[in-house]
Structure 1
C-alpha cells in the first residue's frame, strides 16, 4: 500500500533536513554589506534569515551557546561628511605619494579597538574621554586618485590588514593643511574574495546559495598569495578648511 505525507509532518521532516544542512556549514564566504547598517546588523539579519529558513528558533542574548555562529573578517563603517576648500588635483596627487609603502598610522578614535574591554566607539558614544592609540606600522601597496570633482575625490587603496581608511583620509587632509573625512567607502576585495565575483547580496542569503558559495570560496584560500590580509578600499572623500590642525 502506498501513501503520501502532507501537512505538518512533511514540513517537519523538510525543516530537519534543511537545519542539518545549515548546521553542517563550516568555512568562509563573502557577503555584501549595504550602506547604512553596521557590520553587526548585517550579520544579525543574515543569521535571522537562515534560522527562519531552517525552522530553527532565534537564540536569546542570555544563551551562552549559540545555535549558529557567524562572524566577520573586518568591520566596515557607516558614512561621514564634510566640505572642500580650494585644493588642486596636482597637490592631492603629490600628497598621496607620501602615504604609499610602509607607513606609521594612528588608528581613529571612533573604531572597534578596545579599552578596558569596551570598544572605543562605544566609549565615545557614551561621552567618555578616549585617548588615541599609538601609531602602528601598516602597508599601502598602492594608492591612486581615480576621480577628482571638488568637493569630492575618489581613491583606490590596496593595503595590509589593520589599515584604517579614515585615518588615511584624515592624514591626507592634515598634509594639505586642511581637513578630510570619508563620505563613502566600498571594500572591493578582502583576501581572495572580490565584491563583483563572490559577495552574496541579501536576495541570495539562503542555505542553498551559501552552500554553493562555500564550495566556490573555500578553494581560493589555498591559493591566496602571501598577502593574506590584503584588501582593496574604494573611497570617496572630501576636505574642509579648519583651524585645528
Structure 2
C-alpha cells in the first residue's frame, strides 16, 4: 500500500492523532502527514503511505488554501476562539476599511509566529512555554499571501474569507494582524483547509468513511505517488537503461535534452511507462546525467 490519501481531518484532534488513527485503521506503520493542521481546524490533510512517505518533503512547500472567519473586537492569547480573552474593543469599523485592510495583506508580508505554536526555542515548543506564562521574542518571518478575498461581511464584525498562501503562514496571526491594522482587535473564529497543492476538499475522505471500505475500494482512494508531485517536471529514460536506473547508476542523456531542464532540481523519472522515483539532472565532466535521489518502485 503506497501513495497518498487525501484525508479530511475532523475538528478536535491533532495531525499526529489523525496519523495514529490511520495507522490503526489501515494496519500499517509507515504513514506521515505533509504539514500540521491546527487541532481545532478541519479539512485537507494529505497522508503519505508506505513508500509515499519518502516524498513528503516535496509536499511541504506547496501552497495551502483556507476558508476562515475573522471576528473583530476581541484579542485572545492563542489568536483563535479557543484562547483566553486578553482585550476588547468597541470600535466600529466600516466595510470599506475592512476591504482596504484585506487588500493590504496580499503579497509578501512578515508575520511574527504566535507563542501558541509548535515552533521550538532551545528544544522547547513555544506553546509549552506559553502555557507556563512565558513569552519569547520571535523574529518575524516572510510568507506569501497569494490570494485573499472576502466572501461575506456580517454586521461589520464577522468576515468570512478565502486565502491562498505559502507554507509557514499562520492564519490566526493574519487575523490578529488585520485586527490591529484596523485599529481594533481580531481573532480567527473558524478555519477549514480546503486545499494543499492539488489535493482539494471535494476529494477528501473521512476516517469513518475509510473504515467502511474493503481492500478494492481502499485502493481506489489512494493517489499514486507521482500524482502528488504534479508541480514537478517529468523526465522519461529509455527502456534499455531500466536496470541501471533502479540500481542508482548515472544515466547519460543528450546535452540538448538536458538544456530543457534545470540542473540539480527534483524531477519525476519514468522508464518503461513506470514511475521510478525522484531524481535530478546533473553535469559531471561536461556530460549530463540523470541521477536518482529516491527510487520508489
In the superposition, the TM-score normalised over structure 2's length comes to 0.56
Is 1:71 the counterpart of 2:79 in the alignment? no
Counterpart of 1:243? none
Is 1:218 the counterpart of 2:218 in the alignment? no
- For residues 120 and 218 of structure 2, the distance between their equivalents in structure 1, rounded to whole angstroms, comes to 32
Deviation at 1:213, TM superposition (A): 2.4
Q: What is the total number of aligned residue pairs between the two structures?
A: 184
Equivalent residues of 2:120, 2:126 under 8 A apart: yes
Greater relative contact order (Cα < 8 A, sep 6+): 1
Equivalent residues of 1:143, 1:158 under 8 A apart: yes
Where structure 2 has 5 or more consecutive residues not aligned to the other structure, the ranges are: 42-79, 234-297
Is 1:30 the counterpart of 2:6 in the alignment? yes
Deviation at 1:75, TM superposition (A): 1.7
Please provide the CA RMSD for this pair.
Answer: 2.3
Output one character per residue of 1:104-128: Cα deviation in whole Å (capped at 9) or x when no partner: 1111111111122232122223x15
Runs of 4+ more than 6 Å apart: none
Deviation at 1:225, TM superposition (A): 6.7
Where structure 1 has 5 or more consecutive residues not aligned to the other structure, the ranges are: 1-24, 52-66, 227-245
The 3 A distance-change label for structure 1 pair 212 and 153 is same
Which structure carries more helix by proportion? 1
Deviation at 1:26, TM superposition (A): 3.0
The 3 A distance-change label for structure 1 pair 225 and 103 is farther
Is 1:160 the counterpart of 2:166 in the alignment? yes
Equivalent residues of 1:32, 1:195 under 8 A apart: yes
Deviation at 1:84, TM superposition (A): 7.4
The 3 A distance-change label for structure 1 pair 32 and 132 is farther
2:99 to 81, 93, 96: 93
Deviation at 1:40, TM superposition (A): 2.1
Equivalent residues of 2:2, 2:224 under 8 A apart: no
The 3 A distance-change label for structure 1 pair 221 and 130 is same
Counterpart of 2:184? 178
- For residues 84 and 163 of structure 1, the distance between their equivalents in structure 2, rounded to whole angstroms, comes to 26
Alignment of 1:182-201 (within 5 A): 182-197=188-203, 199-201=204-206
- For residues 133 and 154 of structure 1, the distance between their equivalents in structure 2, rounded to whole angstroms, comes to 29
Output one character per residue of 1:54-98: Cα deviation in whole Å (capped at 9) or x when no partner: xxxxxxxxxxxxx60322112222263277742222111001111
Deviates more, 1:112-121 or 1:95-104: 112-121
Deviates more, 1:71-80 or 1:184-193: 71-80
Which structure carries more strand by proportion? 2
In the superposition, the TM-score normalised over structure 1's length comes to 0.67
Equivalent residues of 1:43, 1:71 under 8 A apart: yes
Equivalent residues of 2:4, 2:228 under 8 A apart: no
Is 1:123 the counterpart of 2:133 in the alignment? no
Deviation at 1:137, TM superposition (A): 1.1
